[in-house]
Structures are given as structure tokens and as C-alpha cells.
A = this chain, B = another copy of it.
Amino acid sequence: MLSHGASDSADLAISDSGTAALISVASAVDLRIPTTMQALVKARPEAGAELREVPVPSPGPGEILIRLEAVSLCGTDLHIYRWDDWAQSRMGTYLPRIFGHEMAGRVVAHGPGTGAVPLGTRVAAETHLVDWTCYQCRTGREHVCANLRILGVDADGAFAEYMTLPERNAWPSEGLAPEIAALQEPMGNAVFATFVEEITTASVAILGCGPIGLMAVAICKFAGAGRVFATDIMPHRREMAAALGADCVIDGAGDVVAEIRRETGGTGVDVVLEMSGAEAAIHQAFQMTTNGGRISLLGLPSRPVTLDLNNDIIFRGVRVYGITGRELWRTWYKTAALLREGLNVAPIITHRLPLSRYADAFDLLSQGVAGKVVLLPSEV
């Protein structure tokens, strides 16, 4: 069931921030909140989704209400839209559900016990809803919380005009355009994968040039990586990688390992960022890494992969990092700093559409021809 309370604006516990500076932010924002809103709902256990008129949710204890400005599409959203095997097993019991999670919007109401983030503030969401109290959360590893819930999967998400969010999950993003603010979430994946060890001067291969891979290309170059190789099986993605600064782009369907070995004088690359999830690329990853190098695994293969552990990992002395989510909040600080210092990820956004054109958006994503597709709920 959708847990939408029958709220209206008069019911909301709206506090103000108590300082002149914050009031001035808020005063520029329309804090009037309607009773109902448009939302993209995964309502039935089948392909597709429905744009419905639903009640605006009411922020509970510790939550804030956000008016959404931009929500970009993630591969996970496509899984849900298509209702593939993964989506069925992961979300079968949750319907109806508002999905979507890569978001930016403005705080328009405070639930009980909140107020640290002032009304009117533009925020992005850390989409890992964690318990803050487990062993992982109390030892700096919130991103792998033992009781992890995901926004837009385990709780209603952002393909809507309004959404609620735990205030502790809000990342203030004043100074960024909404679509760039929204992009911080997937960019955080790329940042985490890239900087799990130092990257400057390291030779790097980025396997898979979807949006996260493309952002990784830009990040690596910005951080002064050594030679940056990028692979993909689709020519237009390789072109985007080259445009973002990749030193050498390679067709992922060719003999990638041989080419990278040749280009590195036989040594292989110091770092592999596996961002495709393609089985062939995963095998390439292990074979192109220099002895004692490291691999960040981020792309999700659709089925188990058979590895020659002896020759791929053990005799090579490589380090393999499983990458999921982003570190709270080290990765966000790093991501924000990269954007502030001039890293430009805007070219990765290829399409902007109103929320009502969600079907076109998912078509673009399906065809693999788009970079990042952004829905604009305020233009519903």
C-alpha cells in the first residue's frame, strides 16, 4: 500500500529556521503545499507504470517534505519499469510504489523533530535509508547498513511532485542547478569507485560508458589520473567518453585486454573500474590489471560469473573492491568539491522531459542511446 496520509498544508508541522539568512532562502520558495499531486506509480505486477493523482505525503517524525525539481533515471528504475526477474523478486510485495530516487528538490515542510535543514533549501537525497545504529553504521560503513532500505524501492520515491525523506538523508545542494544536484547520487557511485584508493597518476581502464562510467572518465581526468582507457560496445558512448577526456577508447567487443596490454607496454593498468556488469568486461577487468593493482566492481552482472581465481586474483596479488552506494558523507563532500572546482558533468545529460513523458524517457533508456535522462516534475 502507498502510505500516503490524507494531509494538507495546514496539517504540516512547519517550523522555521530561526535565522534571518535562512528565512531569506525560504522566502523565495513557495511553501504552499497542495493536497494531491501527480506521481508515477508502479501499481501492478507487470511492465509499465501509471501517472496517478495521489495525496501529497505528510512528513513523519524525523522526515522532511520536498518539492521535487529534477529526477534522473537510473538502470534500477528501468528494471522496475520493465518488471524483470530482479524487480519481481525484489519488489513483488511492495506495490503500489512510487519509484525513482536520483532527485533534487526544495524542502517545503518539516516533520516532528527536524529543522536542521532550513525550509527552502535545495537538497539531494542519499538514497540508502540506513538504520544509523547497526555495527556497519557505527563504524563508518553506513552504505552497507545491515538493515538497508532503498528510496524508490523499499519506500516511496521521487517520480512525483512531492516526496518525504528522513532529514538525515538530505544533502544541501544550494548553488547547483537541480539536474546537477540530482546527478550527485550516481556521480557518488563513480566517485566512491574511483577514490577507494588514490587515483592521481594511476593508469585506469573504465569498462562501460553508461552515465556512471562517463562520469568516472571525467573524474579520473580531473584528478590527474595517468592514461585513461574507456571501453564500450556502442560507438556513440565511446565518442562521449572521448569527448569527456578519455585518452584511448576501445571497442569492448574487440580484444580489449591485448590492446590495453600493448598500450601499457605489457604492464596492464593500475586500476580497473568495472561499470558495465557485462560478463565479458568482468573477465577483461581481471586480465588487464597489473600485478598488485586494484579493481572496483560496480556494474551488476545479470548472472553468476565464473572466475579463474588463481590467475585472475591470487597469483596477481590484486585487490577487489565491491562498490555499492556511496560513503556517508565522505563521498558527498568529495563529489560536491569536484563540482565546485569545475568538473563539468552536464554533457552527460542528453535529455530533459516533463514527468508526464516518462514513457518516452524509459524508451530512450531502453535503447541505450541516451546519456542521462532527467524528468522534471515541476513541468508535469
Contacts and interface: CB of A to CB of B under 8 A. Distances in A.
A332 to B, nearest CB: 8
Interface string A288-324: 0011100001101100111111100111111111111
A113 B113 contact: yes
Given A305-B307, A333-B138, A144 B316 contact: yes
Interface string A19-37: 0000000000000000000
A337 interface: yes
A309 B200 CA distance: 28
A317 B223 CA distance: 24
Given A141-B292, A329-B138, A317 B324 contact: yes
A134 B167 CA distance: 15
A116 interface: yes
A121 to B, nearest CB: 13
A133 B328 CA distance: 12
Contact of A200 (B195, B227, B290): B195
Contacts of A340: 226
Nearest to A338: B201
Contacts of A297: 309, 313-314
A354 interface: no
Question: Do most interface residues of chain A lie in helix, strand or loop, or is the interface mixed?
Answer: loop
Contacts of A308: 304
A317 B322 contact: yes
Given A267-B146, A309-B301, A291 B141 contact: yes
A125 interface: no
A169 B328 CA distance: 19
A235 interface: no
A282 B310 CA distance: 12
Given A146-B291, A317-B324, A201 B333 contact: yes
Contact of A323 (B267, B314, B330): B314
Interface in A186-216: 195, 198-201
Task: Say which size band chain A's interface belongs to.
Answer: 35 or more
A367 interface: no
Contacts of A292: 136, 139, 141, 144
Contact of A226 (B133, B139, B309, B337): B337
A141 to B, nearest CB: 4
A334 interface: yes
B133 A116 contact: yes
B316 A322 contact: yes
A317 B326 CA distance: 10
Contacts of A135: 267, 290, 333
Contacts of A224: 200, 222-224, 338, 341, 343
A238 interface: no
Given A201-B337, A307-B304, A319 B319 contact: yes
Contacts of A315: 144, 322, 324
Q: Tell me which of A140, A198, A310 has the highest count of chain B C-beta atoms within 10 A of its own C-beta.
A: A310
Given A139-B292, A314-B322, 15 more contacts: A136-B292, A138-B329, A139-B329, A139-B330, A140-B330, A141-B291, A144-B291, A199-B200, A226-B337, A226-B340, A300-B309, A305-B309, A309-B322, A317-B321, A319-B319
13 contacts: A139-B292, A141-B291, A198-B198, A225-B341, A301-B310, A304-B307, A304-B308, A305-B307, A307-B307, A309-B322, A315-B324, A319-B321, A320-B322
3 nearest A-B pairs in the assembled complex, by CB-CB distance: A144-B291, A313-B322, A201-B337
